[in-house]
Amino acid sequence: MASDLKPIICAESKPTVIHKGFLEKRGRFFKIYHLRYFILYSNGVLLRFMGRPDSEGYCKQLKNCKVLQVMKPNRPPPTKFIIEGFQDSVTIERKFRALSEEDRDAWYAALGKVLAPAEVPIPKKVTFVNPRPTKINGYYGVNYKTRLDRFAFVTVLGYGSSAKVILVKDCVNPKYYAMKMLKWSRVINEKQINNTQTESYILFVGRHPFLTRMALSFKSNGYLCFLTDYCIGGDLHYHLYKLREPGSVGFGLERTRFYAAEIACGLGYLHANNIIYRDLKLENVLLDKEGHIKIADFGLCKQTSDKDGRTSTICGTIECLAPETLNRFPSSGRAVDWWALGIIVYEMMCGVVPFILKNAENIPSLIHFKKPRYPPGMDSEARNFIQCLLQKNPDDRLGSGPTDIEELKAHPFFETINWVDLYNRNMPVPFTPDLTADNDSKYFNKKFTDLPSILAGLRDAPNDIYSTKADQDAIRELKSIYSQFSFYEERKENVIPDNYVEADEPMES
């Protein structure tokens, strides 16, 4: 797909012209329509010119994009239409206005010729439900009629640096959901629009048994809200550090193998759809009521133009970052997710992440130069699996090849996994949550669930859901546990013994 967006195309491979002519295009920022000349080619590339070009050269156009979808608005005038496409590896939407209804019909017919299913950048072996659903202002699943007063607020499930997650009950269709609430002003100020749009796309469009799903999204009372599955079993971090048996270290081999297989299956689905997850950690792996995992929180995902897409952004949780992410250059690809899988498999087996110190600033040096220490008696196949995932060079890492997850499936660590049964959720789960009601929150941290859940103040004080001084004091105290990287302080408090690895202590291979 990225190659289709190159501004210069060799004459011998030049596609044929499907349609050309003038259209009025609305500006991205000032919302004013400007008359521009467009040429549509058989490969779906749409070129834009200031005026009619003297020749069909490829070097003087203003912009180009690869057409993915054409949408017809319900409101007049009837000459308006919207084109969704790829431009510079980013999905965009632009509004157009034809000069007449006849001209509009001609463009509709021409655009229809380049919208063959093969042009949609979704691999055939992976099925997204409704691959190109309608979106509004870049967000999927938008329902403008939904307001916060439609929901009864039950308890706080989580509170991070950029969002809060609330357990809510839908008063229209009695069902419990996890509502992720992001303050809209903060989304704007911190330039998180692209991230939240990508998150809404994955939540609403993706369909996989091990990914969380979104029922709808809406804006109300100054918040952008995503109504998602309520994974009642809590996250694996809470299970590993708060609920494990006394004297035990980790989950044990079979439970770790089961969770690792389901996580890998979900990551493989994202990779097949050109999405790098970039934030894999136990806190983002939840359990549903049956004990199967659900990967959550897609706010840091990177949607690339092809399977080999790269990114140079440093993001994620410090102790789970791959060496190439910390380097920033050369850019990193989907192999960063397999590194993170190696980190959490080690963590589930050993009860601690392999690279952690009391001083977070020294963790990158451990990641770059040290090898993990493995406890005596650790299963040899599990150890080799982790070692293959924690290769410093991403090109040597298990899963970095063109077959991606298939490399992991072939490893002896997963020899006992029936992947068809796993995908169909037919394999027996190692742990089933013990639940008393559909709104049970026993598997969530009491640090959050004990927070005041009197959220009627939403209607009275739309700027924040916590309006009393006691609530604000509780939130300030809660925020103090966060450092630059999410959950680092909590991890340090829970899992680092006083005599654990110091910066100058050599790591054993």
List residues with catalytic annotation: 279
C-alpha triplet 270, 274, 280: angle, nearest 5°? 45
The annotated binding site is made up of: 180
Residue 421: both structure tokens together: 């049964």
**Contact indicator for 295, 236 with CB cutoff of 8 Å:** no
**Contact indicator for 157, 449 with CB cutoff of 8 Å:** yes
* Residue 94: alpha-carbon gap to chain centroid: 24
Tell me which residue of 230, 176, 240, 242 sits closest to 430, measured CA to CA. Answer: 240
* Residue 176: alpha-carbon gap to chain centroid: 22
* Residue 208: alpha-carbon gap to chain centroid: 13
Separation between Cα atoms, residue 137 and residue 465, nearest integer Å: 25
Alpha helices in 144-205 (DSSP H): 184-189, 193-205
Strand duo 33-41 + 135-136: pairing? unpaired
- 426 forms beta bridges with none
Tell me which residue of 419, 462, 481 sits closest to 262, measured CA to CA. Answer: 419
The annotated binding site for ATP is made up of: 180
Q: At CB < 8 A and 24+ separation, what contacts does 211-216 make?
A: 211/266, 211/269, 211/270, 211/294, 211/295, 212/286, 212/294, 212/295, 212/296, 214/140, 214/141, 215/141, 215/177, 216/141, 216/142, 216/143, 216/146
Residue 149: both structure tokens together: 């007063």
Using DSSP, state whether 220 is helix, strand or coil.
Answer: strand
